Amino acid sequence: MTNRIAALLGRSGEFDATVGPALRRALVDVADGVLRDLFGNPGAGVALVAVGGYGRGEPAFGSDLDLLLVHNGRRDDIAQLADAVWYPLWDAGVGLDHSVRTVAEAVAVADGDLKAALGLLDARVVAGDHALAASLLERVRGRWRARAPRRLPELADMVADRARRHGEVAFLLEPDLKEARGGLRDVHALAALAAAWVAEKPPERVLAAYRVLLDIRGEVRRLARGGERNRLLLQDTAAVAAALSYPDSSALAHATADAGRTISWTWDVTWYRVSAGLRPPSRWLRSRPARRPLDEGVVEQNREAQLARDADPAGDPTLTLRVAAAAARAGVPIGRYALDRLAREATPMPTPWPDAARDALVALLATGAPAVAVMEALDQVGLLVRLLPEWERVRSKPQRNPYHRFTVDRHLIETAAAAAAATRGVDRPDLLLLGALLHDIGKGWPGDHTEAGIAVVGVIAPRLGLPPADAEVLVTMVRHHLLLAEAATRRDIDDVTTIEAVARAAGSPRVLGLLHALTEADSLATGPTAWSPWKARLVGELVSRTMAVYRGEQAPCPPALTERQRLLLAFADEYAVVVNPLPDDGMFEIVVVAPDRP
């Protein structure tokens, strides 16, 4: 018994070479064996039931054993039976989440406690009276289905609350694999929707993503020596990658991000349809669902973008992008039937793209924030990579620094969404949006990402059907997408040399205006610390002074000293530092007086 409990806690070394599903099966076998020995054969009217993660057969080293001792209320030895199971486990250091209840009591608790109800949906009998346990599970699941209109919105609120508190598995440097959006809990929520008979069981691609996160969590818990930890720390990624046979930490991070995105997207589209079904139908919807035209071959039906009856994905190469743009403009998701049909039947885009296809892509990006969810949908069914094969290189590619909050591909989409707000301020909004979508595409290739991006966009631009002059502007935007931010924050913008260098690099007022808008959008999509009033003011002043050079005006000279600054020079011995709060933006001016020297 002692050896088996030590193995369960990861203290014996028995499972050192066992990982993934084999490890989970071994831990379940050990735990079940220990519990059956402790429980013995007390006869009818009592059963030991595993709930939660243990009920699903997914324990990790050090996981609590979630147990319910259920009885028929007619036995007088329940306290002794419970003590015989709980105390040896406590003495051995095994964590327990335990309760002792009759069937009626367990059902009542599930009615009032959502977490308890979810745990019982995954329950299984470990030992004892199987008929008694079966009656409990049947009643719990029946009430879950009957009370679905009230319980499922609670479930969705719980999913949303976890996302607010824990962030997203796909986009965090150190994600909580269990609680964060796109984590293990979200798959449990999908299973709960299926248990209510309002949705299909999670598809295989979601279950595959779930297994990826389970395997990683298993190794995280092993490294934590059984501690209650579900967060993949940067310091552990190399060890976890090696244990699970990933090539390196980057491959592990890519798999984690991809799994999180698959799970979170599936929850979003599933809950969207389930919540629509929970709403009472209006009298206008009780007859045949209305189909409102959105674009050629695209209609809105039941608050989703669907294909029109005469749509022909195989003969209409621009249809996918028209559907996407129409959905984003209408603020509705692309229906799953339409997505699956497009993924199955859509014809490859000709080279170069027809003007209508490029216009549809620009129209999609111009919708701003609504484009993000639509692009994610295209990505999840493989349509985005089919349209832009280079996307495969950046798909779910992590950015391992604390400034970036998104993977490379999501950062590109978010940048384009942010750039949509600036299209009225430039004379080529189409090039701004395309440049925003592609500015970091080089991060999918080895070497300097800017140099790689120049080469990649040099291939993509003609394929999109852009004329040579427009293609050159797009390449220039990629070449200099960091120019303004670096010059404004790392160089002296009061120096004529800095201003003239920026003017030469940008080459024209058009490109400078595009770079200005791209710089702000890129920073906003990077993270909350990447754009500030201070940075915006520096970049804006640099652009204003550079535009003066293009107009043939003399580059602004360094500003004259103020009277206050002259007094500092006169009265400071040699060095002085003065901090002055500014009236706007919550910033400070720091004046430094020092001897003039390089």
Domain with 128 in it: what CATH number?
A: 3.30.460.10
- Residue 292: Cβ within 10 Å count: 9
Domain total for the chain? 5
Same domain for 404 and 551: yes
| Sign of torsion over alpha carbons 295, 300, 304, 310 | negative
Same domain for 376 and 416: no
Same domain for 252 and 168: yes
Cα three-residue angle 291-372-374, rounded to 5 degrees: 30
pLDDT band at 524 (very low <50, low <70, confident <90, very high): very high
pLDDT digits (tens, 9 = 90+) for 297-317: 999 998 999 999 999 999 999
Same domain for 80 and 47: yes
Phi, psi dihedral angles at 295 (to 5 degrees): -165, 180
Amino acid at 214: L
pLDDT digits (tens, 9 = 90+) for 109-140: 999 999 999 999 989 999 999 999 999 999 99
**Cα–Cα distance for residue pair 58/39, rounded to 1 Å:** 21
**Cα–Cα distance for residue pair 29/7, rounded to 1 Å:** 11
Same domain for 544 and 567: no
**Domain annotation covers residue 285:** no
Give bridge partners of residue 537 from the DSSP assignment: none
Give bridge partners of residue 363 from the DSSP assignment: none
Same domain for 396 and 336: no
Same domain for 332 and 233: no
Same domain for 452 and 380: no
Q: Residue 11's pLDDT is what?
A: 73
At residue 559, does pLDDT exceed 80?
Answer: no
Closest CA to 334 of 297, 368, 362: 297
**What range does the domain containing 75 cover?**
2-146
**Domain annotation covers residue 284:** no
Same domain for 124 and 35: yes
pLDDT digits (tens, 9 = 90+) for 463-488: 999 999 999 999 999 999 999 999 99
**Domain annotation covers residue 383:** yes
DSSP 339-404: HHHHHHHPPPPPSSPPHHHHHHHHHHHHT-HHHHHHHHHHHHTTHHHHH-TTHHHHTT----SSS-
pLDDT digits (tens, 9 = 90+) for 417-460: 999 999 999 999 999 999 999 999 999 999 999 999 999 999 99
459, burial (CB in 10 Å: exposed 0-12, middle 13-18, buried 19+): exposed
Closest CA to 156 of 325, 314, 279: 279
Same domain for 229 and 185: yes
**Domain annotation covers residue 598:** no
Same domain for 316 and 414: no
Same domain for 576 and 555: no
**Cα–Cα distance for residue pair 15/34, rounded to 1 Å:** 17
pLDDT band at 284 (very low <50, low <70, confident <90, very high): very low
